[in-house]
Amino acid sequence: MATKKTAASTKKSVKKPAPSVKKTSTKVTTVKASAPAAASSRAARFRFTRAPLLTASIAEFIGTFLLATVVLAASGQPLFVLFAVLAIVLVVGGVSGAHLNPALTIGALATRRISLTRAAGYVVAQVLGALLALVVLNAFVSAAPEVSQQAQAFGQSAPTLFSAPAIADGKEWTVLAAELLGSLVLAFGVAAGVRMSRAGDLTHAFAYGATLYVALLLAGTAANYVGAAAVLNPAVAGSLQALKFELWPILVYVVTPLVGGVLGFALSDLLRSDADVVA
């Protein structure tokens, strides 16, 4: 009798742990299956790179804001603009290509380098970034303390925000020609630089910066002869308060750079196709 009881108790002791093992395995399986699903749903919800156009437009907004800020703070000096463009292109060039200029964006659109949707997003971002630079720097200038009469007697004056001079009457065509020449040179150099390199790398940055420096020297020198300034960027022209609801300011600082940008990109493509035929 004692032997039978021992055998029965042994069978019961062997069978009892089985349900607990099943429950444990079921719980572990449930936890492992739900964790990756929750993680993947969070990644899909907050992954910013799922909207590349939005990301690129924000990069253009930031880059144009920085460029316009440097132009306003440095009074448009080409050397300062050169170093600013080098840094900006290296930072945002890999995201958006670092157009930073509606003239370059329209030139890229006309030569089928980007789509219409992307071009529209870039232009809107560039204009908003340049206008924000004007608002921010104007707020800092407005917050500066007033200059006393005693300080004015010693030649001190209240700080003012840099702006482009008005176009003198009868000199509109000269400034228009300077803007066209500078925009064409800029677009031609940027298109060639992007073709020889990859957007956002050091070669692209130097090509953009050096070409912009040369274009500003050429166009700026020509415009200075008649007391005007060369901008070469419709978005930055808004920051410099050069735009008015008049024919000549819009024609000189908006339409002409866009035409120059298209001509520069088209000329770059033409030379490239001819070189391929010769080769």
The tokens describing 40, both together, are 């993947």
What was the pLDDT predicted at 200? 63
pLDDT exceeds 70 at position 78: yes
Average confidence (pLDDT) over 11-18: 47
- Confidence band for 147, pLDDT divided at 50, 70 and 90: low
Helix, strand, coil tally for the chain in percent (to 5): 75, 0, 25
**pTM listed for this prediction:** 0.77
Contact (CB, 8 A) for 231 and 257: yes
pLDDT > 90: percent of the chain: 56
* pLDDT tens sequence across 176-212: 999 999 999 999 999 988 877 766 688 888 999 999 9
Domains of the chain: 52-143+165-278 (1.20.1080.10)
Q: Is 137 in contact with 73 (CB distance < 8 Å)?
A: yes
Do residues 187 and 263 lie in contact, with contact meaning Cβ atoms separated by under 8 Å? yes
User: Residues 247, 238, 58, CA angle at the centre, nearest 5°?
Assistant: 130
Residues 6+ apart with CB under 8 A from 191: 107, 108, 111, 264, 265, 268, 269
